[in-house]
Amino acid sequence: MAEQALHEYCERLSLQPKDLSTTMWYQFIAQISQQAILQNFPKNAPLTNTRKVNYLSMEFLIGRLLGNNLMSLGVYQDAESLLAKYGQNLVDVLEQERDPSLGNGGLGRLAACYLDSMASLAQPAVGYGLHYQYGLFKQGFGSTGEQRETGDGWNRDFYLQQHHRPELQQTVGFAGEVLHCGDDRYEWQPAWTICGEAFDLPVVGYKGVQQPLRLWQGYSETAFDLAQFNDGDYLLAESKVVDASKLTKVLYPNDNHQEGKELRLMQQYFHCACSIADILREHLAKGRSLQQLPEFEVIQLNDTHPAIAIPELMRVLLDQHQLHWEDAWAICSKTFAYTNHTLLPEALEQWDQPLLAKMLPRHLIIIDRINNELYQQVKAEFSEDEFSQAWQETAVLMNNKVRMANLCVVGSFAVNGVAQIHSDLVVSDLFPAYARLFKGRFHNVTNGITPRRWIRQSNPALSQLLDQHIQGDWTKDLELLRQIEPLAKDPQFQTAYRQIKQQNKQVLAQVIQETIGLKVNENAIFDVQIKRFHEYKRQHLNLLNIIATYQELKANPAQECVPRVFIFAGKAAPGYFMAKQIIQAINGVAKVINSDPDMQGKLQVAFLPDYRVSLAEKIIPAADVSEQISLAGKEASGTGNMKLALNGAITLGTLDGANVEIAEYAGEENVVIFGHTVDSVRQLRTEGYVSKRYYEQDETLRKAIDALADGTFSDGETERFEALVNDMLHHDYFCVLADFASYRQAQQEIAKRYQNQTAWVESTILNTARLGTFSSDRSIRDYQTRIWYKA
């Protein structure tokens, strides 16, 4: 069958198989995979009366699809042997695909893992997102190590895995007037409209169903001026009409930060309006009534980015279907569920009321009414003394702002955080008044990751070892990993497990050499911090320890040392100055250390540019240490922490996000925990945190910071890292200095443990064996039992 297809493919090109280029092989494999998918797409879950999940997210960081699809279709091995016959390597061929980078970081990647799990578990679902022409920018480094951004044209229009669905087109209105037609009746007359075209990417579940990730694209044919985009001038501030092609041109490159731009609000509304219309179209086409909507559909809001879907559904029910407010609200408030992904104030979206009044006037009227009804409820629940505080906290409209998280809590039947500690903080710190008002609405669903991509596909050698020792398909039931727990002390198993890590390190070493020309010591500890750059994630804490270690080794050349390679990857938002300083500082330190002959084989720093899913797939299997060092209380969950630990890296982390649960499951002796806790940070702040004191009292710390300031790592330029140094000494909101000593001690503990290889390998095996709970299949089951199908 595949042979026949290959024959035809070659005939069309008038070439022999031996003459095909790697790109041509890629195209061939992509075509046969696409045909296999389309033959039975969508292959739905058996028709049941279960609720379908509509997963609304502005980001889906799906990564390369072809390898994943071949695996899920069960034809990976066939493709591999076909290619081998012609001297080709499938892995190399799959490298031809450019990842669709339609997300910033964890939030978008989580959405992709969840789609995979829902398809694998036959949970009926559609992912709704945007078909950005430019995904997250590509990252490079300039001559002084500064981040450089270029557009990521992922070749959207020629992406072979997608399927255009012209029949699903929608029209979306913006701005204009609202006529009050008496009673509760309003008529919105938008000033202009934009068409939404649907593109489906098939999500092929592992031995499961196939269902769409439906991405909406604003339609128009005008060309895009990339130079203007780089100037940050792509918002047509003066113009009242934004042309459709601009709308889905580019993903906003912020992670955990709201920029508040008009075009972003328009993207959000466009995304929601197209998706709500599509959900209702399908629902009504099945002959079901509007009142039955919550029975058959749930709309899961991935953070507040799609919050405007709530007033949009209300608008459609009220204005198009002429429902009364109470009836519309009864439907709406049983359909939406909201996942909160952050407590950081700068990431909690708020829109200026005047902007909403201009762009979405009808929605603002609806939000105002929601706010008024809420006011009555809060009045009834809280005493006079309590009221003012409770209203401050719960109001949707406050100080001329629309608070999107509040809108989500009010409009949803369930709200969840993404790790236990985070969900607890959502209730205790962010929304205590809501928790009292809406009892039973708050839940926890700890994040998870798909083992198909993050073990099976990215770590084939480990997968094979697991296959040999585990009865049953661990790819589908990750708890089966427990079966290797008794082998943790088995010398033979240890050797096999260790050899796999070593091979993976060799592969990564090759990648490092090819990308940045650095030859690393493959026997060193591979210490990995890979994630977006953000002050709260504290890559600069890691950096200070590297500098201190460097200084120590310089001062005592004879000192015994456990060799290390510190590996970084991650992007900073183009407008995030401090995060970019940290990137530049790491590159500056790397340059000095890597070119110092005294450090040869002892200490190296590799910063790999352009972090993306496909690069993560190479780094994670090779990691020995997983840096999860955010300030306690700031990282909602993290998911890289799960991927790394499952692939046999030891977590070096604070008691933050899912680290807490990782430590519980792995066993405290199999992780290294350091630093302040949520409570002790609170105390630190109450006492009045002064970072300078730590600088003054700790000589090691002082020397490290001084070296950043005095030009040692900036070609003698003392200004280059001035902002970073000043921030650490005078603000240090994320308490880097307060955690430095404890972090350094934890790093020493890592070195000590690594020296006892037998114990180390045992520990890493136990991490793999005990962390099956962090499969996204478990997360989806939790959503099913705690939220979607809760009785």
Binding site for ligand NBG (CB under 6 A): 105-107, 110, 255-256, 303, 341-342, 347, 418, 447, 635-639, 657
Looking at the Cβ atoms of 110 and 213, the one nearer to ligand NBG is 110
For 707-757, the three-class secondary structure string (H helix, E strand, C coil) is HHHCCCCCCCCCCCCHHHHHHHHHCCCCCHHHHHHHHHHHHHHHHHHHHCH
Which residue is catalytic, options 305, 531, 602, 612? 531
635 CB-near residues (< 8 Å, 6+ apart): 536, 537, 628, 656, 657, 659
- Minimum gap (Å) between residue 517 Cβ and ligand NBG: 33
Looking at the Cβ atoms of 246 and 341, the one nearer to ligand NBG is 341
Which residue is catalytic, options 401, 422, 532, 580? 532
- Minimum gap (Å) between residue 468 Cβ and ligand NBG: 32
> Is 639 one of the catalytic residues?
yes
DSSP H helices, 398-490, are: 404-411, 420-425, 432-437, 451, 460-469
Looking at the Cβ atoms of 65 and 113, the one nearer to ligand NBG is 113
From the list 613, 618, 614, the residue with the least C-alpha distance to 639 is 613
Looking at the Cβ atoms of 302 and 764, the one nearer to ligand NBG is 302
> Is 643 one of the catalytic residues?
yes
Peptide bond into 609 cis (omega under 30): no
DSSP H helices, 40-103, are: 66-73, 76-85, 90-94
- Minimum gap (Å) between residue 731 Cβ and ligand NBG: 21
180 CB-near residues (< 8 Å, 6+ apart): 186
- Minimum gap (Å) between residue 105 Cβ and ligand NBG: 6
Looking at the Cβ atoms of 106 and 208, the one nearer to ligand NBG is 106
422: its two tokens? 């985070």
Looking at the Cβ atoms of 319 and 656, the one nearer to ligand NBG is 656
- Minimum gap (Å) between residue 498 Cβ and ligand NBG: 30
Which residue is catalytic, options 335, 339, 549, 639? 639
- Minimum gap (Å) between residue 620 Cβ and ligand NBG: 15
Q: Quick one: CA torsion of 102, 103, 106, 108, rounded to 10 degrees?
A: -70
Looking at the Cβ atoms of 20 and 130, the one nearer to ligand NBG is 130
- Minimum gap (Å) between residue 395 Cβ and ligand NBG: 22
- Minimum gap (Å) between residue 537 Cβ and ligand NBG: 9
SS3 content of the chain, % helix, strand, coil (to 5): 50, 15, 35
Angle formed by the axes of helices 491-516 and 460-469, to 10°?
A: 170
Which residue is catalytic, options 422, 540, 643, 676? 643
> Is 580 one of the catalytic residues?
no
51 DSSP assignment: P
- Minimum gap (Å) between residue 444 Cβ and ligand NBG: 12
Rounded to 5°, angle at Cα 163 from 161 and 166: 160
CA distance 692 to 483: 50
Looking at the Cβ atoms of 127 and 218, the one nearer to ligand NBG is 127
> Is 537 one of the catalytic residues?
yes
Q: Across the chain, how many H-helices and E-strands are there?
A: 33, 22
> Is 341 one of the catalytic residues?
yes
CA distance 128 to 302: 10
Residue 145 sits at φ, ψ, to 5 deg, of 80, 10
Say if residues 610 and 628 touch (Cβ distance below 8 Å). no
CA distance 762 to 769: 10
Looking at the Cβ atoms of 107 and 548, the one nearer to ligand NBG is 107
Say if residues 651 and 666 touch (Cβ distance below 8 Å). yes
336 CB-near residues (< 8 Å, 6+ apart): 298, 299, 300, 301, 309, 310, 313, 408, 411, 412, 413
- Minimum gap (Å) between residue 637 Cβ and ligand NBG: 4
> Is 207 one of the catalytic residues?
no
CA distance 470 to 13: 45
Looking at the Cβ atoms of 17 and 640, the one nearer to ligand NBG is 640
Edge-to-edge strand ranges of the sheet holding 625-628: 603-608, 564-569, 525-530, 625-628, 650-653, 672-673
Say if residues 162 and 123 touch (Cβ distance below 8 Å). no
Looking at the Cβ atoms of 341 and 676, the one nearer to ligand NBG is 341
Which residue is catalytic, options 341, 401, 505, 778? 341
Say if residues 251 and 259 touch (Cβ distance below 8 Å). no
- Beta strands at 336-339 and 297-302: parallel, antiparallel or unpaired: parallel
The set of catalytic residues is 341, 531-532, 537, 639, 643
